[in-house]
Amino acid sequence: MATQFSEIYDLALVVIRDYKLENLYRVDEEAFYVYLQGFLINAIPEFTGCHQSLEYSIDSSSFVSDLTYQEKSILAKFMVIKWLEKEINDITQINLHLQGRDFKMNSEASNLKEKSEYLDRLREKVNQSITDYQFAYFKY
């Protein structure tokens, strides 16, 4: 049985807390799933070394293969990375508001730095998850 995209979304949304996503879900559920699909499609090529095919069908919103929980979890983590990259690259987060206050400018720079550092740590964790996944399939 093929793995539905919604299974990956559910795992990713446990970590993501975003009022814009929540509002989109309330306003237009179909647009919400299309939006999440973009993150998943961008995440798939990041999962190199997957032992199963990550071929998918947009029409059925599913993978051709029946993915294991570990594979679903790795894809969900990559979805979170893609979502966080979008948050970090948000122009409103990068532009400094000119209000003549050093505190405001330092706060925004500090916020961006913390998000970037968190993203780096998250990538390291996901890469470790892939390494663990690949070692599990290693035969002596």
Query: Is residue 104 a contact partner of residue 36, using CB atoms and an 8 Å limit?
Result: no
| Gap between the Cα atoms of 108 and 37, Å rounded | 30
pLDDT, one tens digit per residue, over 58-117 is 999 999 999 999 999 999 999 999 999 998 887 655 555 545 554 455 566 777 788 888
Picking from 5, 132, 6, the residue whose alpha carbon sits closest to that of residue 70 is: 132
Q: What pLDDT is attached to residue 50? A: 92
The closest alpha carbon to 76, from 136, 140, 16, 2, belongs to 16
Residue 2 has pLDDT above 90, yes or no: yes
Band (124; pLDDT cuts 50, 70, 90)? very high
DSSP 4: B
Give the pLDDT band of residue 23 (cuts 50, 70, 90).
very high
Is the dihedral angle over the CA atoms 127, 66, 57, 20 positive or is it negative? negative
pLDDT at 98: 46
What's the pLDDT at 103? 47
Residue 53 pLDDT more than 70?
yes
